[in-house]
Amino acid sequence: MIIKVLGPGCANCVNLEKVTREVVAELGVAATIEKVTDYGAIAGYGVMRTPALVVDEALVLSGRVPTAAQVRDILEPLGSGS
């Protein structure tokens, strides 16, 4: 599973990356986490409000920093499938 955290480096993006890393460690799924800071690439995913989260090239969340529980709800079904 490849997880991308989209955001130019604002406080929200740092928070989202932190939450995501925590959840990945907790679930124990094999995942690489990358940061995408290029505006062209961010917009290319259809994102207009950072931060955003992309899992295996599919946009799963945009516009706000979710709670750890929300990230778990998103990642858990995806992780077990692969």
Partner 1 sequence: MSVAERLRAKTPTRRWVGLGASAVVWFALYQVNRPFWDWLIGGAFGLDLDSRLGSGLHFFFYDSVKIALLLIGIIFLITVLRSFMSVERTRALLGGKREGVGNVMASGLGVVTPFCSCSAVPAFIGFVAAGVPLGVTMSFLIASPLVNEIAIALIFGLFGIGPTLLYVGAGLVIAIVAGFVLGRLKLERWVEPFVFETRLGGQVIDSTFGLTWDDRIQMGIEEVTNILKKIWPYLLVGIGVGAGIHGWAPEDFFTQYAGEGNPFAVLIAVLIGIPLYSNAAGILPLVDALHDKGLPMGTLLAFMMAVVALSLPEMILLRRVLKPQLIATFIGVVAVGIVGVGYLFNAVLG
37 binds partner 1 (CB under 8 A): no
Secondary structure of residue 8 in the 3-state scheme: coil
* DSSP β-bridge partners for residue 54: 4, 59
64 binds partner 1 (CB under 8 A): yes
Which of 28, 58, 77, 81 is close enough to bind partner 1 by CB under 8 A? Answer: 58
18 binds partner 1 (CB under 8 A): no
* DSSP β-bridge partners for residue 61: 53
The Cα–Cα gap between 28 and 22 comes to 10
Contact residues for partner 1 (CB under 8 A)? 8, 10, 12, 39-40, 42-50, 52, 54, 57-64
